[in-house]
Structure 1
Amino acid sequence: MEDLVTAPTELDKRWLTEAVRLREEHAGPLEDQEANRRARQQGGDLAARIEHRALWLAERDGMTQALRHWKQGARLALLALMIVAVLSGAGLGLAALGDGQRPVNVFWALGTLLGLNLVLLVGWALGFFFAGEQGATLGRLWLWLSERFARDAKAVHLAPALLVLLQRKRLNRWLLGLLVHGLWLLAMSAALGMLLALLATRRYGFVWETTLLAAEPFIALTNALGALPSLLGFSIPDESMIRASGATLPSLDIARQAWASWLLGVVLVYGLLPRLLLATLCLWRWRQGRRQLVLDLSLPGHAQLRDALMPRSERIGVQDAAPEHLPQFEAGQLETGSSGALLVGLELDDQRAWPPTLPRTVTNAGVLDSRESRNKLLEQLSRFPPARLAIACDPRRSPDRGSLALLAELARNAGATRIWLLQALPGQALDAARLGDWHEALDRLGLHHADTSPLTWLEHGHD
């Protein structure tokens, strides 16, 4: 639940920006007039404006919420893989030692514990240096599980966007490497823990067996594998113990303890520590590279936004520089250097005489009855916000979502706003239920409304 209320991280912002670009690349440009206008108000360079536009569109279209669901699904997928890794590691430890009824062949046990791990580790290293696609299978499995757990149709572009974003800095190899080595680290830790539990609670005998080889190769291999673990304090069976283990089951407890210590040390040094070191390296490179992620402005989806987000007048330096701190505002209250008074009508019919007689200090903005007139007025308000704005509405019309969104956007670009719910013309009647819907919707937006003329307020700032 905490993730639902936290602000998006820098990686999330880049991620959502890339997801919006991919969506527009596949489905065509989005309706972005308001997003572009907000981005221009935000200021900054082209990359900052593209990101601000994308974040607004992502929030509007539900992609931000989808990202939260996807990340929750990714955590569940990772938890499932971690559980599988722990159970697999514990199973390896149990299979290597058995139930204690028969002696343990030390080299078969070692092959069971380290064989698959070392083979996959070599495969990862070869893929890292030659193919660059190490961990791709496990990574695809994790992404597939993440999408299944997320169950959000709006998250369709998130996984491809993440891969495209990370491939620019080749961070995918470090993220997948962290996933692979982290899971193997869990598996080897579980295997080592199972070995410790079994050796502490059961009596095992250790032998080595051969038909073709002499004892010397086993003695040399045992000493070679135990050299590094011995530096950490693990025991190595001496030559007499090794020879005795090849001839018959040793009955001395000191021999059992030496073999057990040797086995634990070899698993720790050659199984667990390499994964720990590689996981730490991948984590360090991932965190280091994540801070260097930037937008690629040369991509077609970003390059074509330059004219809309960086008007030519701004690029040649006509406008003032953006302020260091942008104003924070709510509907109906814009904390900025606004001035003047403005009256505008919203979708008024021709039967009503408009505009009324206005004081000299009040400007008539006409009637908003088309998308072009709305966008033109919003563009003007974003540059020259009025101190007082009155919006005349015909309460015979239903307060649909489009009209309410426009009222909220107009109010956010004015110092103070009032809604004038016009009275019915002679011979007409107002629907009480519809008027109640207007009152409820405007109260929900936090906009002051009345059915009396606001001209006095527009002229003097008070009633």
Structure 2
Amino acid sequence: MSTAAPPPTDFNRLWLTETIRLREEFAGPLEDGEANRRARAAGGNLTRRIQTRALWLAERDGLLDALRHWRQGGGLALAILLALAVGGGASLALAALGAEQKGPINVFWALGSLLGLHLLTLCGWLLGLFFAADGGGGALGRLWLWLSEKLARDAKVALLAPALLLLLQHRRLGRWGLGLLVHGFWLLTLTSALVTLLALMSTRSYGFYWETTLLDGDTFVALTQNLGALPAMLGFSLPDPATIRASADQALSVEAARQGWAGWLLGVLLVYGLLPRLLLALLCLNRWLSGRAHLAPDLSLPGYRLLAERLQPSSERLGVCDAAPETLPQVPRSALGRPAESTPALLVAVELDENRPWPPVLPGGVGDAGVLDSREQRRRLLERLAGQPPARLAVAVDPQRSPDRGTLALLGELSRSAGRTRVWLLPPPPGETLNDERLDDWHIALNQLGLHYGSDAPLGWLETGDD
């Protein structure tokens, strides 16, 4: 497994934990013996152990790399959306002022072109915030998730987006995260429109007018002044009633009138377009950051409840209930074996025939872990190594046996439980010959595992660490 990449952030650990839970819910429990041992050895509360287990499984099964690919795809999808926002904002401004139009501009048609879609989507987001189950992320949020998955180009990312949404639903963070995306998109769109308007109005001369059939002039005067009241407080110009009335049906050629209408249009765009999106984006960012700081796995879910006993056994959760006796029973040292912290080097054998003498004479400082014949013996040794890994570990195997998948998996797990590991391919007993084809199978398998091996006894290496 790769170790070059930096460790995932706390949020990514939570995301991977939820992805593993979702995967096991759909496909059944994963092979997690080593992951559980490492989680118990790492310690911490149940939440931390669940995350440690999930991170190890994600790295083993390629989900950690898939997450990196998904995030790269998400960044690229976001860049595409930002480019669309900039281009869309410029298009709104060009449509509002009629880039190919030489005549005057209907000021209210221009205003509708600039703010109409923005107001519709804003109302849709507000309705979704209060009534939609997903918090109103809308089509833009779903588009970003879809693009992120497609651009990741990794078949293993299929569960990442659903796991992300489920994780965010625990504290109703989906609405704020996707809301930040939506309002950020529109903030950039309207900013692009405002900059384009400024550029066009600075380099071309525009006249503005309004017209109506059903409404009277007083209605347009009141509407114009009411819309321009807030922008006027920020210093934008507000046409007086006489100028508004005079602009009916035809644009005034007076420079002050043209500048007054241009300032009014820019101010209305800023106050009713950019500022609401900016404030809502800041609100979503604040709620996102505060909620994310308290985000944690939902331990009430069945998948996590099943892990509690495996990662935090009842005896560990209950602690010591009885008072300590005045004297503790003495256990012979021979029954305990050599403690791991005093054995920087350890020798263990896997499934040896009973007629083979074992163990060899060991140099000082080298511990003997015996012969692993049963699953329970393997489990006990792996539990011991998870808490106290030796600096050097030699594993003796009989190359007369086939390198089956169970033995190779055990060798891989033992090698990850020690600083350095070597496999000792034992010579055949006297009077027997070694099968060359089977020995070649061992060489191929150990090379694939990346383990050092040899037929010479590694006792000197165990004692000194020198090659």
In which range does the TM-score fall when normalised by the shorter chain? 0.7 to 0.9
- Note if 1:428 corresponds to 2:429: no
Q: Contact conserved, 1:338 with 1:415, CA < 8 A, in 2? A: no
Summarize deviations over 1:56-109 as a string: whole Å, max 9, x none. Answer: 000000111111111111112222222222222211111111134111010111
**Structure 2 unaligned regions, length at least 5:** 322-339
Report the 3-state secondary structure (helix = DSSP H, G, I; strand = E; otherwise coil) of the residue aligned with 2:150. Answer: helix
- Note if 1:106 corresponds to 2:69: no
What amino acid sits opposite 2:433 in the alignment? Q
Aligned partner (choices 298, 302, 312) of residue 314 of structure 2: 312
Distance 1:460 1:175, change over 3 A: closer
Q: Contact conserved, 1:396 with 1:431, CA < 8 A, in 2? A: no
Report the 3-state secondary structure (helix = DSSP H, G, I; strand = E; otherwise coil) of the residue aligned with 2:424. Answer: strand
Q: Which residue of 1 aligns with 2:456?
A: 452
Distance 1:217 1:417, change over 3 A: closer
Instruction: For residue 310 of structure 1, report the CA deviation from its aligned partner.
Output: 1.1
Aligned residues: 441
Q: Which residue of 2 aligns with 1:50?
A: 50
Q: Which moved more, 1:143-152 or 1:172-181?
A: 143-152
Instruction: For residue 241 of structure 1, report the CA deviation from its aligned partner.
Output: 1.6
Q: Which residue of 2 aligns with 1:24?
A: 24
* Distance of 1:246 and 1:462 partners within structure 2: 96
* Distance of 1:68 and 1:52 partners within structure 2: 18
What amino acid sits opposite 1:114 in the alignment? L
Aligned partner (choices 241, 262, 285) of residue 287 of structure 2: 285
Q: Which residue of 1 aligns with 2:129?
A: 128
Distance 1:250 1:460, change over 3 A: closer
Percent of pairs identical after alignment? Answer: 59
Q: Which moved more, 1:61-70 or 1:436-445?
A: 436-445
* Distance of 2:250 and 2:420 partners within structure 1: 95
Q: Which residue of 2 aligns with 1:145?
A: 147
Q: Which residue of 2 aligns with 1:326?
A: none
What amino acid sits opposite 1:126 in the alignment? L
Distance 1:86 1:363, change over 3 A: closer
Distance 1:215 1:386, change over 3 A: closer
Summarize deviations over 1:432-462 as a string: whole Å, max 9, x none. Answer: 98399479839944x5x55333557768999
Aligned partner (choices 379, 388, 394) of residue 375 of structure 1: 379
Q: Contact conserved, 1:96 with 1:112, CA < 8 A, in 2? A: yes
* Distance of 1:443 and 1:111 partners within structure 2: 66
Distance 1:112 1:395, change over 3 A: same
Aligned partner (choices 268, 274, 284) of residue 266 of structure 1: 268
Distance 1:443 1:286, change over 3 A: closer
Report the 3-state secondary structure (helix = DSSP H, G, I; strand = E; otherwise coil) of the residue aligned with 2:213. Answer: coil
Aligned partner (choices 181, 188, 191) of residue 190 of structure 2: 188
What amino acid sits opposite 2:152 in the alignment? A
TM-score, length of structure 2 as denominator length: 0.84
Instruction: For residue 148 of structure 1, report the CA deviation from its aligned partner.
Output: 1.1
Distance 1:318 1:340, change over 3 A: farther
Instruction: Show the 5 A alignment for 1:189-268.
Output: 189-246=191-248, 248-268=250-270
Q: Contact conserved, 1:339 with 1:388, CA < 8 A, in 2? A: no
RMSD: 3.2
* Distance of 2:419 and 2:73 partners within structure 1: 43
Report the 3-state secondary structure (helix = DSSP H, G, I; strand = E; otherwise coil) of the residue aligned with 2:248. Answer: helix
Q: Which residue of 2 aligns with 1:174?
A: 176
- Note if 1:355 corresponds to 2:361: no
* Distance of 2:387 and 2:280 partners within structure 1: 54
Report the 3-state secondary structure (helix = DSSP H, G, I; strand = E; otherwise coil) of the residue aligned with 1:66. Answer: helix
Q: Contact conserved, 1:35 with 1:57, CA < 8 A, in 2? A: yes
Q: Contact conserved, 2:347 with 2:368, CA < 8 A, in 1? A: yes
- Note if 1:64 corresponds to 2:69: no
* Distance of 2:229 and 2:60 partners within structure 1: 62
Summarize deviations over 1:38-60 as a string: whole Å, max 9, x none. Answer: 00100011111111001000000
* Distance of 1:339 and 1:270 partners within structure 2: 73
Aligned partner (choices 163, 166, 174) of residue 164 of structure 1: 166
Summarize deviations over 1:357-377 as a string: whole Å, max 9, x none. Answer: 546987654444565543333
Instruction: For residue 177 of structure 1, report the CA deviation from its aligned partner.
Output: 0.9
Q: Which residue of 2 aligns with 1:441?
A: 447
Q: Which residue of 2 aligns with 1:325?
A: none
Q: Which residue of 1 aligns with 2:331?
A: none
TM-score, length of structure 1 as denominator length: 0.85
What amino acid sits opposite 2:123 in the alignment? V
Instruction: For residue 395 of structure 1, report the CA deviation from its aligned partner.
Output: 4.6
Instruction: For residue 356 of structure 1, report the CA deviation from its aligned partner.
Output: 4.6
Instruction: For residue 394 of structure 1, report the CA deviation from its aligned partner.
Output: 3.5
Q: Contact conserved, 1:74 with 1:146, CA < 8 A, in 2? A: yes
Q: Which residue of 1 aligns with 2:327?
A: none
Q: Which residue of 2 aligns with 1:390?
A: 394
* Distance of 2:201 and 2:25 partners within structure 1: 60
Summarize deviations over 1:378-400 as a string: whole Å, max 9, x none. Answer: 12433565676432133566778
Q: Contact conserved, 2:412 with 2:449, CA < 8 A, in 1? A: no
- Note if 1:36 corresponds to 2:36: yes
Q: Contact conserved, 1:340 with 1:388, CA < 8 A, in 2? A: yes
Report the 3-state secondary structure (helix = DSSP H, G, I; strand = E; otherwise coil) of the residue aligned with 1:304. Answer: helix
Q: Contact conserved, 1:139 with 1:176, CA < 8 A, in 2? A: yes
* Distance of 1:189 and 1:387 partners within structure 2: 61
Q: Contact conserved, 2:394 with 2:462, CA < 8 A, in 1? A: yes
Instruction: For residue 216 of structure 1, report the CA deviation from its aligned partner.
Output: 1.6
**Structure 1 unaligned regions, length at least 5:** 320-335
What amino acid sits opposite 1:209 in the alignment? E
